[in-house]
Structure 1
Amino acid sequence: MDINLDIDAPRSDEYTREVASTVAEAVRTLNHHTFSAAGVPYPSTVYRVLGNLHAALSGLSQTLRQLSSHLARMEATGRVYDDRDRQDTELAARTIAAVREHLRAGRFADAEREAGHLGLLDEGEAR
């Protein structure tokens, strides 16, 4: 996967998803490299990796807050639906609330599972 990480790149759904995928792949790669003593030969390696992970985790908490805020923004449009019943606006609201609560509690697998049921109607599209 080749991606140019650029904080000034134009904002788009595709680029956002690509960056998130790159983060996941970077963690997977780091896990493989830290499994071997050759990948962590010095205490300074541990120090540097911990420092970078601290910075990454601090940044991820901001990302999670922003994702939660965007769900609230989308909900305010009245166009969010839950694919288990597109007509039930209360179900969509409960699902959004569940996703946001799972994010706050650090239950990311649960947040992802619930978010997978959400969709956004096109403007003017009827339920």
Structure 2
Amino acid sequence: MLMCGRYGFIPGKDFYDRFEITNRDFDLQTSYNVAPGRTMPVVVMNSPKKITLMRWGLIPFWAKDPRIGYRTINARAEDVSNRPSYRRAFKNQRCLVPASGFYEWKAGEKKKTPYYFRKKGGEMMAFAGLLRKVRIYGRII
């Protein structure tokens, strides 16, 4: 899955209803700082009422090393349909990434300061995501 640099995931009591999820057997853990490489719940385009766990970071079809997924975490709207890393997934491998908010950093003289953005009422939102199942080292990631 792909998107911004860090986000928060705080599933409230209304999480399953908000996304109309039917498979409710997940023990969803709160995370205030979800980082690339972490496995998190997503709602896949082909199964819109089910949660699937996915690792954050898209591994392009041509990649031989799964660590490239740490560099492909953010697909810009203006590039997603024509960049080789994202083009195939954009056509038919999409998902929603439930989130409570996201972080953006402002560069300062000595350090970056994180700012957290969320919906005014605090309810969950979703990011558009891309996904791809790959077999690396004999297992599907």
Q: Higher strand proportion, which one?
A: 2
Q: Higher helix proportion, which one?
A: 1
Q: What is the TM-score with the length of structure 1 in the denominator? A: 0.26
Q: Which has the higher contact order (CA 8 A, sep 6+)?
A: 2
Q: What is the TM-score with the length of structure 2 in the denominator? A: 0.24
Please identify the structure whose Cα radius of gyration is greater: 1
